[in-house]
Chains A and B, each alone.
Chain A
Amino acid sequence: MLDQAFDALKTYDWGTDRSLLNPIDDAVVTTRDDAAARQDLEDRLAAVLATDVSRDAKDFVCRQLMVIGTGRSVPALAAILTNPELSHMARYALERIPAAEAGQALREALPQTEGAVKIGIIGSLGVRGDADSVAQLAALLGDSDECVACAAAFALGDIRTKDAAKSLGDVSGATPKVQAAVSDAALSCAEALLADGNKVDALAVYKRLSAQDQPKHVRVAATRGVLACAGKSD
């Protein structure tokens, strides 16, 4: 049955019979306690990505690797990560694979991409909380593509480390759109710092964002943060 499903994958496309692939869905669950079978399944799926199957077939494979992928399938996913048509589904798997190799693949793809694909990779690094990417993301805060710079800011706001917070405080000359993203991300970092008991660094962020040059709703949020640092609720 599984072999037949992999055969069906060769001609699978939008509009063909999805149920022919059900044995692969089943195997994803039933191989949970059989490491050898799970590894074999992962290898077979990853191998499909290098073949000339349809976009929909690769979409299907990436959804399965999201569930069972390990470092073993990262090279196959990395190979399609910079392809505009396939990048999202590569991230669909890579973003959720806990192996360190997945984060490394995303970081390595960053300088090879631009525009929407780069923004997607930046977002995935943020969702993964990839602290190793802070320096790369911080450098993108000044990117000439305003959308890339905003994406980098939001990703740093997802990562929420002390280094991420620091990088967001060093931005100058940003456009209003980028500055808004930087402020929102800095608030995310400050909230995380405060939750970790680091009132000194959190307070520094809040005081900076309380300045009159910030939009009103940012100042309100920062003022509430200052009060929280002082142990007072609003």
Chain B
Amino acid sequence: MGQHHQATRRDFLKTAGAALSLPYIITSTALGTQETPPASDRIVMAGIGIGNMGGGDLGAFMGRPDVQYVAVCDVRGKVRDAAKGKVDAHYQNSDCQAYNDFRELLARTDIDAVHVATPDHWHAIMVVEACRSGKDVYCQKPETRTLREGPLMIEAARRYARVVSGGSQRVLEDYRPIVDKCWGGELGTVKWINVNVGPLSQPCNLPAQECPPDMDWDLWLGPAPWAPYNSDRCDGNFGTGGGSWRSYIDYSGGGMTDWGAHHFGGATFAVDVREIQPEEIVYHDEEGQQFLEYRYPNGIVIYHNRPHTENLQVEGTPGETRPAKPVPSYKGSGGIYGDFIECVKTRERPFRDIELAVNTVALSHLGITAYTLKRSLKWDAAKQEFPGDQEANRFLDRARREPWQL
């Protein structure tokens, strides 16, 4: 999809004079200052999907002295123009390029890394395409929309040796006290932890409205089923109870994936199962209250919405202590954004490496499948399938609207 004759950032700078289509003026910003590295030593970045979360990500990356922000992409003209204005104001020039179609942005060979903060149904396609075009990626959570997407994103990252980070800052920053207790050994052998999160997303049958002239509705829908424009269908607010894309099945798993990416991320980190997936999801329906029990091969259990249990409540072994383990943390400086940039430079794996992110969000998708079918499931993590369960295996993925493939 993109232009695949790759050049390094420095190769690009050597030949920049020939690249007349791309504005590049040697300014004091480009040459660097005492605090700011010269442009040739900065990570050249761009953003795809630059509304709510994407706008925050843009500001965080652009504010770093080791990043040169060069392009924005959004299917909403007003959002796109506002983001370009923000970047241009920051650099005091008009160099930032604005794109409607992410494929044009990914075709640029001068860009080292992109951040993706579109609605969730786009994440996998964009991450894989970015890897295929030789770019590192910071992708907002929840990183996947279906179970099949995760392994394909990991595969693309590993195949092309890309740094791909997920985007939940809360995993390390919000849940640190419980993580420290578990890793510090003071709870003894940890038996289970509980996550309270929801709801699941719902079907969307909103009526047609007139589409704003600055919006590319077909590209917003992308691989999702065709539906008429409605402002509530595509609103980027953080609600999951209706009136936002986070509420609807075709674009999101609802609170189960949206906040689930944070809470399950914190839980799997606390009980140290980030690198594996469960082998069984037990569906409970007790007196009309449904909840789940994720059983891991090492004996750890993660509950979802266990009755009378607090979010991230953990059960250890009273009277037992275990040796403390060093707690993994971010590299570099500047939180999860700094972690990503540091790894782009060093080629290490980031704190929320795509594989760990996929393992986390898989819990949300597995849970949605169990709640939808109202029954327990076996899960073969190696084969990424529900063994011998044709009914459940239908939920591994969903057909993408043409011409989109993954």
A59–B373 CA distance with the chains assembled, in angstroms: 20
Partner of B160, one of A66, A119, A188, A217: A217
Interface of A is mostly: helix
A92, B397: Cβ atoms closer than 8 Å: no
B78 CB-CB contact with A under 8 Å: no
B207, A14: Cβ atoms closer than 8 Å: yes
Interface of B is mostly: loop
Q: Which residues of A contact B203 (CB under 8 A)?
A: 18, 63
Query: Which chain B residue lies CB-closest to A18?
Result: B205
Chain B: residues with Cβ within 8 Å of the partner, total of 40
Stretch at the interface among A42-50, A130-138, A146-154, A165-173: A146-154
A15, B161: Cβ atoms closer than 8 Å: no
B318 CB-CB contact with A under 8 Å: no
B160, A92: Cβ atoms closer than 8 Å: no
A187, B398: Cβ atoms closer than 8 Å: no
Given contacts A184-B132, A220-B160, contact A127 B402 (CB under 8 A): no
Give B1-46 interface residues, CB cut-off 8 Å to A: 1-8
Give B318-353 interface residues, CB cut-off 8 Å to A: none
A180 CB-CB contact with B under 8 Å: yes
A101 CB-CB contact with B under 8 Å: no
Q: Which residues of A contact B402 (CB under 8 A)?
A: 87-88, 116-117, 119-120, 123
B401, A120: Cβ atoms closer than 8 Å: yes
A98–B388 CA distance with the chains assembled, in angstroms: 12
Query: Which chain B residue lies CB-closest to A96?
Result: B394
B191 CB-CB contact with A under 8 Å: no
Query: Which chain A residue lies CB-closest to B401?
Result: A88
Q: Which residues of A contact B207 (CB under 8 A)?
A: 14-15
Digitize B101-132: 1 where CB-to-A-CB distance is under 8 Å, 0 elsewhere: 00000000000000000000000000000001
CB pairs A–B below 8 angstroms (16 shown)? A14-B227, A15-B207, A18-B203, A32-B391, A88-B402, A96-B399, A117-B402, A119-B405, A124-B399, A127-B399, A150-B1, A187-B159, A216-B6, A216-B7, A216-B134, A217-B161
**A residues whose Cβ falls under 8 Å from a Cβ of B:** 14-16, 18, 29, 32, 56, 59, 63, 66-67, 85, 87-89, 91-92, 94-98, 116-117, 119-120, 122-124, 126-127, 147, 150-151, 154-155, 176-177, 179-181, 183-184, 187-188, 191, 215-218, 220-221, 224
